[in-house]
Chain A
């Protein structure tokens, strides 16, 4: 039989793990996509609607 404090700690622990996991997953997904876009850009592949020169407004 767990003490009441045990249940409270288990709840906060689970919450911390799940929230941390969610944040890390979103962060890692963003980094992965950013890397893919950079790789495409380095290979000279750009979106058709992308500006051709740096100064041109989008």
Chain B
């Protein structure tokens, strides 16, 4: 008979069960995709119906994709850092799957932040790129994403790859506060924070609303893609282990014959 304590332990370990995760993903993905699409429809409507800025004119609309992409590039790395802790401290079987699935998504958002920033910088600053602290630290973040993707692909043993990339992810996490505070610590061409401030947002509601809705849309897009990519990664690992098992069985049959 199962007592209350063992039932509680069972419930907790179920959270780490990939099969349970696949079931959850199957149920959540249609809702998450729908909500993401809805948020983008509302967000994009607001992006193009609200007023331009009296100084920046139309280019202020670039902010509505540049800023959410930049936020997501840092949030994705934070998710990876938490996953890395999960791998190293709790040896959670889904933690490495999560970190591995997040890396290409994070790289994409970072590249998007860099490209849209460049397209905003040219008309407003008169230059596509400067090596100031903010731009350089985000560029370093992009390189770190690429490095982690390459490392995961280069190593054959998933267990070893998980450990090495978890350590690298945690070491690289030092870059996240550097990105966030670079605009305060150094004299940069990039402006300081105007939304995520201790004294509240310093941005007109005309710009704040489309920005927040787009940030929510990008966040939901990230969660949807991350869950889907984690599901794909679990399937990939199952295919690999089943193929290995099949080859082993074939070998044993060969010896018997």
0/1 per residue, A4-22, Cβ < 8 Å to B? Answer: 1101101110110011011
A11–B225 Cα gap in the complex (Å)? 22
- Measured between beta carbons, the chain B residues less than 8 angstroms from A21 are 108
- B-contacting residues of A (Cβ < 8 Å)? 2, 4-5, 7-8, 10-12, 14-15, 18-19, 21-23, 25-27, 29-30, 33-34, 36-37, 40, 43, 45-48, 58
A28 nearest CB neighbor, chain B only = B232
A4 → chain B, closest Cβ, in Å?
4
A58 → chain B, closest Cβ, in Å?
6
Choice from B57, B65, B221, B241 contacting A11 with Cβ under 8 Å: B65
Give the interface size class of chain B: 35 or more
B75 at the interface (CB under 8 A from A): no
A29–B236 Cα gap in the complex (Å)? 9
Contacts A7-B59, A11-B66, A23-B225 hold; do A33 and B236 have CB atoms under 8 A apart? yes
B58 at the interface (CB under 8 A from A): yes
A47 with B242: CB separation less than 8 A? yes
A44–B153 Cα gap in the complex (Å)? 29
Contacts A7-B123, A15-B116, A26-B225 hold; do A33 and B235 have CB atoms under 8 A apart? yes
- Measured between beta carbons, the chain A residues less than 8 angstroms from B69 are 15
